[in-house]
Structure 1
């Protein structure tokens, strides 16, 4: 709806511009047998970077709502594992497939949604995929068999990937580097806090006799439908090449001249783009050290976050004899840590403004983005060792909750640093680089979600957290190494320096 109004405004602006355009000059142009390229300059009001701050803030709020509700879906019924497994007649480990298949679905979709959004636009991708996503959330709520439930969960993740995989590209569409220091923590909060907040609601819903575990799916459907309606009515298109396509179309209609074209419309077809880009995420992850190492950091964080959906049964519920509702509430400590870091966003923005001497539109050195990760790097293993080796009934539960709070801070700090560093380093190739990380991150997290319960049962909380802590220790120096300049060349690998994509030439 908002995109339709946006299209109409572009048509009216084209007509006004044509009325001001010198008729004789236009006639001379039309006599030349060549294409007329439709472009946007730095100050063009069509460019989302030049929209009013209020408009862009509204768009980020709507996008954050979409992200939050679809990230919520991954963890909403996690604490209902026991009730759901009893109803379907499967083990608790088998029931963990519901989370794993959702994560596998996001991993699968991440291969395609970037290309789709660059072909038809961000808005149709978000809205079309979310519309399908709603039907499969409904299917999850109504499924009578375990097989049907698992298939629906996979498709919920597959269609949710459109929102969860390309939201960073939408931020890049609308905000210059300095302002991204303020905006990205907000988007990151929606991505990482939702899986921590959903179990809080899910825990209490499950323990309410009049509701039951299926209401975790119904609540997901209600909030997701609300977010979809808000986006349908108020979310505009933000991908500039698509907006230039619209402008070129209106110019052709208004002038009767078919030679007005945009570079995007003249570039590769969707099938050609898919063939070109399908192998690129895997190539990036295997050939670019920045992607491999920082992507590995995000893999660790997401593996931990989704393993906690089962692990908190052992960390808190069994140790302190908690109810399902109280167990879910323990996830509030992670959400609180993520929220605390988000409140630092104005400070990060002010720091970025200072580093760029308050010059409008200045670029920020990619290495500047690594500061939160450098500070959080040593805290992450500390929080994991703390959580593991204070996990005794005789130790106050607030000790473990405090460790989870620190983990929440580290989770979002490293997430923000990684995404912003890659966007600033890879520029036009950032969407592909991020897609490669998203694909692997969710795939591994899905595998860990399946292995989490046997791991906690097999080696116990203490050694499980020690194992994760040791991996975190190995990764802790990575941001410092890239800050020192090691990532600057790797982040612009030789394969990126040597040429540009065909549709950019």
Structure 2
């Protein structure tokens, strides 16, 4: 990062006048007129793939959008299936098929093949994204989740932020190229799948009780050992559970509003895949690898927020008076979001309206770090609030949020480049900042009225215990 800043300072001193007048750059360097073109703002993987397939670079963004659409549509099925056949089977089967399509995405010789493979990569990877929060809820008591869940959330958030850093340098390497971004993901995912195959155990209690009842029937011959989960056929159970994500998002205000908040955050995060080329690369004349490294600022912010997990855990234990197995009212989980939500519009306005060459690049990076803190805090609050509120239906509730946020984020990936080109960085960030202002009070509203909403809900639990 230090080398990035030093490089920027030198280039700014040498090229400031040329950049302002849009003159032709010296031989061997790109001019600023070229940097302002759509092609110059593409990531290296996008640029290389579009050249190889003979399509426009904007069209190549469709592969990323289809991946996000796949996650959104797959989430409709992953949550309900995990509540019917169990978490482990859902994880293992879907991830194995995901690996096959990931290999296809790396090897495909055509643009159409890449788009199709990327959709199914997203479709079958959706299980790990939509039900991992429920798996944490299965395994840990409410108080311990205050410490454990932020660690899981950190992995979910920093992964997409670290990927552009790695892919930028991989694609820039002439000995590797864009296909190795897929191969690298495949290698890491395959290792994780083998570890899961060997060590991952089932965590969903109704399925575990069903297995126990089945074992008792075999051992004793007594057919009276039956669990509630085993009533009806598999098809009937899946049929009854499958509509739940849509029902949750359309009828539960908590799911709708928190889902909208996370959708906005993820839309901003994925628009940065194109936006950082305009925010940092064009303005500060960074290389492609250096531009990808700017995503490290968001990762640093999310990491800083994660460091608050021990303090949050200690606060939860004190509030529950160290009682073993104490329940935690969902509204208590909203404190990280309540504290940090006002920082989101500040970070976006800051990033947009300090985006001038005369202002240090550190200003924009610092704003991105604040965005990372907010993203992490609201993610933690929203997921833990929903897990505590909806109990055994949490997987379907979280799946509904995952569905909406990734479908919208996929659309934003396609719209982001025209937005940055059409209205510029300043007004793009202003629009997103104004939307965040509207949503900023929502965590505080739910803290005041959340218990009343849960009482009216058909699916929500109402744990009692400590004061909010």
Per the alignment, residue 140 of structure 1 pairs with 105
User: Which of 272, 280, 283 in structure 2 is aligned with 1:308?
Assistant: 272
Contact 1:206 1:324 in 2 (8 A): no
Deviation at 1:282, TM superposition (A): 2.2
Tell me, yes or no, if structure 1 residue 391 matches structure 2 residue 352: no
Q: For 1:53-452, what aligned pairs fall within 5 Å after superposition? A: 79-266=44-231, 268-452=232-416
Query: TM-score scaled by structure 2?
Result: 0.87
Distance 1:244-1:497 versus aligned 2 partners, 3 A rule = closer
Distance 1:493-1:91 versus aligned 2 partners, 3 A rule = farther
Paired with 1:258 and 1:496, the residues of 2 have a C-alpha distance of: 31
Deviation at 1:334, TM superposition (A): 0.5
Gaps of 5+ in 1: 1-76, 499-505
Paired with 2:162 and 2:402, the residues of 1 have a C-alpha distance of: 21
Deviation at 1:494, TM superposition (A): 4.0
Deviation at 1:78, TM superposition (A): 5.9
Distance 1:92-1:107 versus aligned 2 partners, 3 A rule = same
Deviation at 1:138, TM superposition (A): 0.3
After superposition, what is the alpha-carbon deviation per residue over 1:280-334, rounded to whole angstroms, capped at 9, x for unaligned? 3222222222111111100000001111111111111111111110011000001
**SS of residue in 2 equivalent to 1:259:** coil
Alignment size in residue pairs: 420
Distance 1:177-1:229 versus aligned 2 partners, 3 A rule = same
Paired with 1:402 and 1:158, the residues of 2 have a C-alpha distance of: 34
**SS of residue in 2 equivalent to 1:363:** coil
Deviation at 1:495, TM superposition (A): 3.3
Deviation at 1:169, TM superposition (A): 1.0
Distance 1:340-1:92 versus aligned 2 partners, 3 A rule = same
Gaps of 5+ in 2: 1-41, 462-468
User: Which of 476, 480, 489 in structure 1 is aligned with 2:452?
Assistant: 489
Deviation at 1:256, TM superposition (A): 3.0
Deviation at 1:153, TM superposition (A): 0.3
Deviation at 1:134, TM superposition (A): 0.5
Deviation at 1:425, TM superposition (A): 1.9
Contact 1:81 1:92 in 2 (8 A): yes
Contact 1:294 1:418 in 2 (8 A): yes
